[in-house]
Each structure stands twice: as structure tokens, then as C-alpha cells.
Amino acid sequence: MLTHKIGRNDPCWCGSGLKYKKCHQVFDDKIKAFAREGHIVPDHSLIKTPEDVEGIKKSAKINIACLDAVAEKIKEGMSTEDINTIVHETTIKMGGIPAPLNYEGFPKSVCTSLNDEVCHGIPDKDIILRDGDIINVDCSTIYNGYFSDSSRMFMIGNVKEEDKKLVEVAHECVEIGVKYVKPWTFLGDMGSKVNEHAKKHGYSIVREIGGHGCGLEFHEDPFVSYVTEPGTEMLMVPGMVFTIEPMVNMGTHEFFTDEDNGWTVYTEDGKNSAQWEVQVLVTEDGAEILTY
């Protein structure tokens, strides 16, 4: 539901300085119509202002630079702690803060998830990249209070063809997700297309972990699932910012969390998993990719 009533001649809630009737009244009325039909709709707290978007984009520049730096240096024989150092130093040098560091007790500045690790892998000096590994590097950044988030897959040395295909299809899933971010349609419309593509290749998508709103906080509403039906989940409207990050498993979608560290998520069957992540802004005619 929308947060509060505003008079037609009151200043618009978005901070534009315009009267409500000249700014967001038609927009709000359109959302209310979907709500009356029983759909889940965003409230004003999920609509980013132009000022917010500008702040998120500045954070995103650091976020992208971190993964670019990793891409330049990642190689066989380096440790995942080396990756953590690259991300931490790049973030600090550019004036940012690594969002994962000390987040709910997470001990490092980035997540590094190898092979059958689905997500939230903890960098360690004793975890060495080997020929044939696939690894997800998930980077999250704070700059001037604004959050950005993205991840990339890296293939180390001579990777098996079946793992290359998994990485490629996971990337295609994100591309399809971005394609189906359209204002005044539903997250379920987008998610169902992503799931359809993964299933076509014999893969599964993790159900309980997905994308999320991001920008003013690390994790905001909505939860972004990729195993949902068309016409379901939250209505997408211009100004929403969220991540698209399906976790694509070679085998079962089921997983478990490491009991010792409380973070690292593994596939239940030990088969590999791949994930790419972008952060998108819903625009008037589609999506703008903010991080990659």
C-alpha cells in the first residue's frame, strides 16, 4: 500500500518541489488500481528519487571498479583472501565501505563462492584457486550511505565444458531477467522467464535465496524470486531498484549452510552452482543496469 494521503496541491512526496497533481498523482492512482485488484504493490519507500539514483550510481562506480580489479588479477594459485584484499583496498581507495564487512557478523569484505558453494563463501588464505575451478565473487559497496551490489563468475584455467555451460547459462538467465524488467508488469513475469531458461538446460534455481531491493539499505523489499508464476509477486514500477541474481545449480535446487561458519551455502548434492548479479533501475520503458 502507498504510505499516506496527499492533497492534490500539496508538494509531491518525491521531493521534486512540484504540486502532487502535476507530479506523482497519476502514478500513484495507477498503482492503487493494481492494489484494488489484489496485487502486491510497492509503497513510496521503494521508489527511488532522482537524488537517490544519482547516489546509487556513484556507489556503483566503486562496485564495478572492484570487480574489474578482480578480473584483471584473478588467477590460478592465488587465495580467496587475495581476492578479499583486492576488493577491500579498491573500495577504501575510492572512498567507499565494503558492505559485507561485519554485516551480521560476516568477517570479510567480499563473498567468494567456489564450485559447489552457492553463495556467501568466506575468503581464506588457505583456499587456493585451482585449475578448473569456477568462482563467484560477490561485491557490495556503500558510498555516502548508498548501497550497490553485483557479482561475476570467473573460470580458472582449463574448466570442464559442463561447467563452462553452467556459467554461460547462468549469465544468460540474468540477461533474460533484465529483458523482462518492464514497468507495470510483475516480478513473477520476469522470474518465470529466468526459471524457464534454466530448466530448459536441465538446471534448477535456488528458491529460498534470491534478489532484493537495494540502494538506501543493503537488503530492502522486494524479495526477488526466480521460481514464480507470471502475474504474481510485486508490481514493477519506475524508480524501483533491485538485484537480479539467480543461483543456478547443475543438480538439485536444495542446499545446506555450513554449520561451522554459519554462512557458506553449498548445493545439497555436491554439484556445481553459478551466479551472476546485476542491480537494475526500473525505468519508464524497461531497465537500466546500474552494476555488473
Rounded Cα–Cα distance for residues 171 and 180 (Å): 15
pTM of the model: 0.94
pLDDT at residue 1 in the model:
46
pLDDT at residue 149 in the model:
98
Per-residue confidence at 244, pLDDT binned at 50, 70, 90? very high
For residue 212, list its beta bridge partners: 223
pLDDT averaged over the chain?
96
Question: Which residue shows C-alpha cell 570487480?
Answer: 67
Rounded Cα–Cα distance for residues 160 and 163 (Å): 5
Tell me the average pLDDT across 202-212.
97
Rounded Cα–Cα distance for residues 240 and 233 (Å): 14
Burial status of residue 271 (CB atoms within 10 A of its CB: 0-12, 13-18, 19 or more): middle
Orientation of helix 50-73 relative to helix 80-93, angle to 10°:
140
Structural domains in the chain, CATH included, are 47-291 (3.90.230.10)
The tens digit of pLDDT for each residue in 12-42 reads 998 888 999 899 999 999 999 999 999 999 9
In angstroms, the Cα distances linking 93 to 74, 85, 160, 238, 245 are: 19, 12, 37, 33, 27
Whether residue 209 is predicted with pLDDT greater than 60 in this model: the reply is yes
